[in-house]
Amino acid sequence: MDFTIKTYSRLLDALKTSGIPFKLRHDVDLLPGNSLRTAEIESQKGIKATYYFRCVPESYDEQVIKAIAALGHEIGYHYESLTTCNGDMEAAYDDFCHNLEQLRTLAPIHSICMHGSPRSPWDSRDLWKHHDYHTLGIDHEPYFDTDFSTTLYLTDTGRRWDGFKVSVRDKIPQYQELWESQGLVFHTTEQIIAQLLNPLSPLRLSKLSLLITTHPQRWNPFGAKYVKEYCFQSIKNIVKHILVSHNNKKSISDNNN
């Protein structure tokens, strides 16, 4: 069974064993208590990660944020301001700055990461076409500040590791086909673990470092929460697939006009 806490712990062990340089990024979209649990597991293994919190009630939990920071992990801001401000660029920037300062009362914030908001017509990364996050003391936004020519991006978006096929925004389009041709696209966590532990696997031979994104609400012991997340994400994937198909058709139509 995939996406259990036991499987996540085994993935961490395999990452350490492989010797491949890696960074862990966690998007705290929902269930912040799940993030505290993964943060504790990582801390026990001597692993540091970055936890990106949204400034909405289903993510923002001051006690959890403080507890994760106290474990030595980095806290980041998972921004979605263009969505929450309905595309108003200046209102979105004000919203971003307000939320950033709010988070900074709980922990140092030097890293931000866009929340995908798949049902929204707005991509919050467009905020940086008009503003510069570096002037706000931000050093890193993974989508802009990662060299993907030397870094393989793995994300559990869609509760699968090849979820870029149904993802609206959480993907690196210019590299996905290349990675697939090199045998570096995986469906299950077990496939990743197997390649991490095999010195002759395409992953080990690629010499790429890893940027791994997980959504801790997806990782649960088997039980009611596990089944609920599985069912919810299966339905969500259907909706995302429809959105991606619609966007692709619209892009083709626009190009033909």
Q: Indicate which CATH number applies to the domain containing 115.
A: 3.20.20
Which parts of the chain register pLDDT below 70? 234, 236-257
In whole angstroms, what is the distance from residue 58 CA to residue 70 CA? 21
Per-residue confidence (pLDDT) for residue 242, from 0 to 100: 60
Confidence at residue 234, expressed as pLDDT on a 0 to 100 scale? 64
In total, how many domains does the chain have?
1
pTM above 0.75, yes or no: yes
Residue 237 pLDDT: 59
4-15 pLDDT tens trace:
999 999 999 999
Tell me which residue range forms the domain holding 191: 5-256
Mean model confidence pLDDT for the chain:
91
pLDDT recorded at residue 251: 44
